[in-house]
Structure 1
Amino acid sequence: MCLGWTTAAKLNINRDCHTATVLQNGKVLVTGGYNYEGVLRECELYDPSRDQWTLVANMSVAREYHTASLLTNGLVLVTGGEDSDGEVSTAELYDASVNTWTNTRSMSHHRSGHTATVLQSGKVLVAGGRNEEGRNLDTAELYDPQTGAWTATQNMNCSHAYHQASLLTNGKVLITGGLGFCSIGISSKTSELYDPKADAWIRINDMNIDRYEHTATVLQDGRVLVTGGRGLAGGMRNSTELFDPLTNQWNTTRSMNTPRYGHSATLLPNGKVLVVGGLPRHSLDSVELYDPSTGASAITGNMKKRRSSHTASLLTSGEVLVVGGSISSRDGITEIY
């Protein structure tokens, strides 16, 4: 047995490209995704105290590459994604207290591969993605949970899809990389900030390396760690870099031991970052720990299953629940670190 990893209960439905959201009661809601039967409407709930998965109400729309955001009122907002016919603009709300989904107003744009960030105000910023015509988007919009309405923000400076969005400690949102276009520069190398107070997008210094399908993790000191991803020329990245919101500067740190994209990165209570799975050519079972105090990544025990396009959720116990993913993880086995 690999030190640090234990097998948890099996999913009822195998899936990848899904979402996982830790609810206020500590349970984990998994929504949608994809398996050999197609795009999924089905959802299930994990109870860590019982190590048990339970099927819950289905979404109204099947989705993959969507987002799920825990609102301050305890509801979960699901937006966009792809169904069997392409990208969708619909949004819906899950209420765990009564196990129901309720449709809310649709976004102004169809989008998948976008990001959704809950701001300090409680509103949700949805940014970028790809539309039903296959174009990468520079549009962004705000969802107000009190009214259920969507409001367009100023457009981003670049279009971004399969990028990352990080809520900084100062309340701004950092967008990094992704596929897209800029009038000046390569979109997959760019970063920009959304300032909610000014309702404005600000182009800042580029990352050192272009990347999409990477991860971005806000560290305990407020810096943002970006790991891995794919390059425009097709290369797989093992490089990492750090963004300092005090200076808006990017600095490279030591590379990971393994190139990977489609992986996960989770901030642990001890301040380290757990980087799990992903792809270079085949899904990986390898795991490494990034230590901000040294800037180095150390190899730790492998998972029992190879995974990419999975989810990793920090439980209230401090453990990490890893769910689903491509290739050999399709037997439904979940794992806890």
Structure 2
Amino acid sequence: MMRRILLAASLFASALAIALGGCGGSNISEEPVYTTTPQGVHVAALAMSTPRADAAAIRLRDGRVLICGGNATGTIGGVLSSAEIYDPSTQTFSPTGNMTAPREGQTITMLQDGRVLLTGGAQNIGFRSELASAEIFDPSSGTFTATGSMSIPREGHTATLLRDGRVLVVGGSDNGTHTLDSAEVYVPASGAFTGAGHLNQPRIAHTATMLLDGKVLIAGGGRGDRPGGYIAYDTAEIFEPITGGFGMLRAHMVNARVGAASVLLSDGRALIVGGKSGQMLMAGFIGNIAGLTPLNTAETYDPEARRFVPTGQMGAAHYLPTATKLDDGEVLVVGGWKQQGPTVVGMTATEVYMDRTNQFSSPGPTNVGRLENTATLLPDGEVLVAGGIDANSKITSSVEFYSPRQHSFILIPEAGAPAGPAENP
């Protein structure tokens, strides 16, 4: 999604860029980050092998983290096919096999057998660069192989592992402007995608959260291919895996939200944080970018009451953040879009949602500004925060770690931190 601000082919495409998170991170961040160890030694912090923004990351069953694709430059030709592995036992990044195609904005989902499914995304900057293809990463061989393709190209979509092992793929855009209402499922046994009905509303940059009963909550998002401009939704619907259909919820969200993040809480509620709200008109486009308002609010969906409930407010507005559930049930919110004059940069503000009090607290800033970064829970309970667009609007290879024990962000992971529970697929 980052690439869309660079289209400039039409006013509408530019409008969609602002709505969905496009930004002008067109330079590689080359300045190294240093830290001082407890022994007083000045050392370079850890970093990925290449700068990456809008990449995909997931923790594998053996505790290592796969990070793949993304954009290294924000320019034509900057989309990556490379991938790398972070090994927390050695605190090192090492290359693994390349993807079958360059991708940014792809989804990443662990299958029940431990392999990883990647779907869609974009292969370059420009109109109609979305991908219908999908591929599988095999951790045992460290290689990617092509699998069946989706029926239509998708970017800005979601992918959710269902209880029966299939993967539900919902919405997105097939050409950079048109918003999709279609859905499909990936069947690992056949390696093929099949149709899964239609949403009640076309959606892009929505959230998808599997609830405890196996149903999937599809909330918010937006639509840009409509007369007059771009609108963010306050509506939500439920996918029922047994019937294979989508049902609209009567309850509306507390706020319309596009570009939010969501996570399932331990008590079965779905937490939805940040995003942007409102409607952006085409007329007077430049003067009406502020029509979409970044949100410092959050809300939960209660599946028993079938309603949305506001939480305490965050300390800052987070548009396009990451949300990571920690081992103790709290949720870490990192990064997002910050307007700095005419430039979009990554933000350093962070939040921790405490489910016991329904409030947010701040663990302090990240060491590097982050937008379109990844955030992955490690076996020891720390969170690996990697890449993204920094506070200077440059794409960075830097990484850092959130330490729940220190309630802060550190550049070198803690030594000897206790391992957390094994991650379920």
Residue from 192, 196, 206 that aligns with 2:241: 196
Indicate the larger mover: 232-241 or 45-54: 232-241
1:254 maps onto 2:317 in alignment: no
Residue from 242, 266, 275 that aligns with 2:333: 275
Residue from 21, 26, 34 that aligns with 2:58: 21
Give the Å deviation of 1:327.
2.5
**Residues 121-171 of structure 1 deviation map (CA, whole Å, 9 limit, x = unaligned):** 110000000112621111000000011111101101111111111111110
Structure 2 runs not aligned, ≥5 long: 1-34, 37-42, 279-290, 340-344, 403-425
Please, what TM-score do these two structures have when normalized by structure 1? 0.94
Distance in 1 between the 2:356 and 2:380 partners? 24
Does the Cα contact within 8 Å between 2:52 and 2:387 map onto a contact in 1? Answer: yes
Give the Å deviation of 1:270.
1.3
Aligned position for 2:272: 226
Q: Partner letter of residue 115 of structure 1?
A: T
Distance in 2 between the 1:237 and 1:62 partners? 32
Distance in 2 between the 1:154 and 1:265 partners? 28
Aligned position for 1:161: 204
Distance in 2 between the 1:262 and 1:8 partners? 25
Does the Cα contact within 8 Å between 1:289 and 1:300 map onto a contact in 2? Answer: yes
Give the Å deviation of 1:9.
2.2
Q: Partner letter of residue 255 of structure 1?
A: Q
Distance in 1 between the 2:388 and 2:248 partners? 34
Q: Partner letter of residue 215 of structure 1?
A: A
Distance in 1 between the 2:397 and 2:212 partners? 36
Indicate the larger mover: 107-116 or 325-334: 325-334
Alignment map for 1:107-186 (pairs within 5 Å):
107-132=150-175, 134-180=177-223
Distance in 2 between the 1:181 and 1:157 partners? 16
1:34 maps onto 2:71 in alignment: yes
Give the Å deviation of 1:115.
0.4
**Residues 187-219 of structure 1 deviation map (CA, whole Å, 9 limit, x = unaligned):** 621111101011110100221211111111111
Does the Cα contact within 8 Å between 1:8 and 1:336 map onto a contact in 2? Answer: no
Aligned position for 1:236: 294
Q: Partner letter of residue 28 of structure 1?
A: V
Does the Cα contact within 8 Å between 1:111 and 1:130 map onto a contact in 2? Answer: yes
Q: Determine helix, strand or coil for the equivalent of 2:362.
A: strand
Does the Cα contact within 8 Å between 1:78 and 1:92 map onto a contact in 2? Answer: yes
Distance in 2 between the 1:8 and 1:130 partners? 37
Q: Partner letter of residue 219 of structure 1?
A: L
Q: Partner letter of residue 132 of structure 1?
A: N
Aligned position for 2:48: 11
Identity of aligned residues (%): 36
Q: Partner letter of residue 387 of structure 2?
A: G
Aligned position for 2:95: 55
Q: Partner letter of residue 173 of structure 2?
A: R
Does the Cα contact within 8 Å between 2:375 and 2:385 map onto a contact in 1? Answer: yes
Q: Determine helix, strand or coil for the equivalent of 2:94.
A: strand
Give the Å deviation of 1:278.
1.1
Give the Å deviation of 1:180.
2.2
Distance in 1 between the 2:207 and 2:52 partners? 22
Q: Determine helix, strand or coil for the equivalent of 1:169.
A: coil
1:295 maps onto 2:358 in alignment: yes
Change (3 A) 1:110 1:182: closer
Q: Determine helix, strand or coil for the equivalent of 1:54.
A: strand
Indicate the larger mover: 51-60 or 286-295: 286-295
Aligned position for 2:349: 286
Segments of 4+ moved more than 6 angstroms: none
Aligned position for 1:100: 143
Change (3 A) 1:181 1:194: farther
Distance in 2 between the 1:194 and 1:228 partners? 23
Q: Partner letter of residue 366 of structure 2?
A: M
Aligned position for 2:105: 65
Does the Cα contact within 8 Å between 2:299 and 2:309 map onto a contact in 1? Answer: yes
Structure 1 runs not aligned, ≥5 long: none
Which structure: larger Rg?
2
Q: Partner letter of residue 196 of structure 1?
A: P
Q: Determine helix, strand or coil for the equivalent of 2:376.
A: strand
Number of aligned positions between the proteins: 332
Aligned position for 2:285: none
Please, what TM-score do these two structures have when normalized by structure 2? 0.75
Distance in 1 between the 2:247 and 2:130 partners? 28
Give the Å deviation of 1:8.
5.7
Does the Cα contact within 8 Å between 1:236 and 1:280 map onto a contact in 2? Answer: no
Q: Partner letter of residue 175 of structure 1?
A: I
Indicate the larger mover: 42-51 or 324-333: 324-333
Give the Å deviation of 1:253.
1.3
Q: Determine helix, strand or coil for the equivalent of 2:338.
A: coil
Distance in 1 between the 2:247 and 2:204 partners? 18
